[in-house]
Amino acid sequence: MDDVNHFRRLCLVWLLASVIATPLVVFVLAPGLPPGNGSVQASGQVVDNAVLLGVSTPVALAVLVYFFYALVAFRERDQSAVLDGPPVRGHSGVQTTWLVVTTAIVLFLAAYGSIRMLEDGSGGGQGPNPIAKPTGAAGALQVQVIAQQWKFTYRYPSYGGLETADLELPAHRVVALHVTSLDVIHSFWAYQLGVKADANPGVDNIAYVQTKGPLTFNVHCAELCGVWHGYMFERGRVVAQSQFAAWIHQQQQQYAPVQKSLVPYSKQYFPDPQRRGG
C-alpha cells in the first residue's frame, strides 16, 4: 500500500510540475532562444527548439521529481542504523511503461527532425546539389560567400560577378548562399539568419535563407582556420529592395577599376598558390 501511495504522490507532483513548467518553457523561454527571427529559417529553428524543449521538459521533470522525492521520502532517518534498507527489486510495469514512453518520444523526435530538415534544410549547407529547397528557390538571388584567411568576400553572379567586401541582402527574398573557400577549411556563420555552412576549398556548399525585414546580422568564422581566426568577424545587412539596388550600383562603380582583374566567376576556386600561411 505504501508503494502505491508513493507512486501516486510522485505522479501528482510530476503532473503539477509539468503543467506549470512546460508552458513556461515553450511560450516564455523558447521564443527568446537563438538564433532569433531574422529569417524564415531562423524562425523555424526557434520553433524546433520550442518543440524539443516542450517534449523534453516533462521527461527531465520526471527524473528530477523522483530524485528529490527519494531524498525526502526514502532517506534513512535513524542515524545509528548500520544495516542496509530492504532490497529494491525491479517493477516490470514501471520498466515497461518507461521503455514504451521513451521509445515513442525518440521516434517522434526522429520523425519530426527528418521532416523539418526536408522542409527547410538544417541551415548548415547541403553541398552542391541541395535536396531541401524552399519555395521560390528557382528565383533565388545567388550570392557566393568566399572564405579566406582571414576575411569573407561576396560575389553576385547576376550582377556581372561583382565581388564586395560586405554582405548585403534584399529583404523578403529567397537567397542561395554558395559557400566556398580559397585556402583552408572555414565555416560561414550568419548568426541571426540561422545559417552555419562549412566553407571547403573546391566545394560549392549551398545554403538557402529567406530574409525578412531590415536587419543587421553578425558573421563569424566558426572553424579554427589559423592564427587570426578570432578576427574573422564582420556584420552584414538585410535592407529594402530599393536600398539593395542602390547599394549594388554603388559597389559596381566603386569596384569597376578592379573588376576586370578578377578571375571569372566560378562555383569553386583553386587559386595558385594552393597553400596559405597560418
What would the pLDDT profile of 175-228 be if each residue is shown by its tens digit? 999 999 988 899 999 999 999 999 998 899 999 999 998 999 999 999 998 899
Residue 192 · residue 38 · CB < 8 Å? yes
- 257-270: b (≥16 Cβ within 10 Å) or e: eeeeeeeebeebbe
| Grid cell locating 67 | 530524485
CATH code reported for the domain at 137-259? 2.60.40.420
Count CA atoms within 13 Å of residue 262 on its CB side: 19
pLDDT at residue 275, rounded to an integer: 56
Predicted pLDDT of residue 81: 59
pLDDT at 121 over 80: no
Which pTM value belongs to this model? 0.80
**Share above pLDDT 90 across residues of the chain, in percent, rounded to a whole number:** 50
Per-domain boundaries in the chain: 2-73+98-120, 137-259
Name residues whose C-beta falls within 8 Å of residue 87's C-beta, 6 or more positions apart in sequence. Answer: none
Which residues in the chain belong to E strands, given as ranges?
141-148, 151-156, 162-164, 168-170, 174-181, 186-190, 195-199, 205-210, 215-221, 233-239
Which residue type is seen at 275?
R
Query: Which residue's C-alpha cell is 523534453?
Result: 56
Instruction: Specify the DSSP class assigned to residue 212.
Output: -
Highest mean pLDDT among 7-11, 33-37, 102-106: 102-106
Q: Please give the mean pLDDT across all residues of the chain.
A: 87
For residue 258, give the amino acid letter.
Answer: V
Distances in Å between the alpha carbon of 120 and those of 30, 50, 116, 142?
Answer: 19, 16, 6, 17
Pairwise CA distance, residues 69 & 154, whole Å: 58
Sign of CA dihedral 217, 223, 224, 227: negative
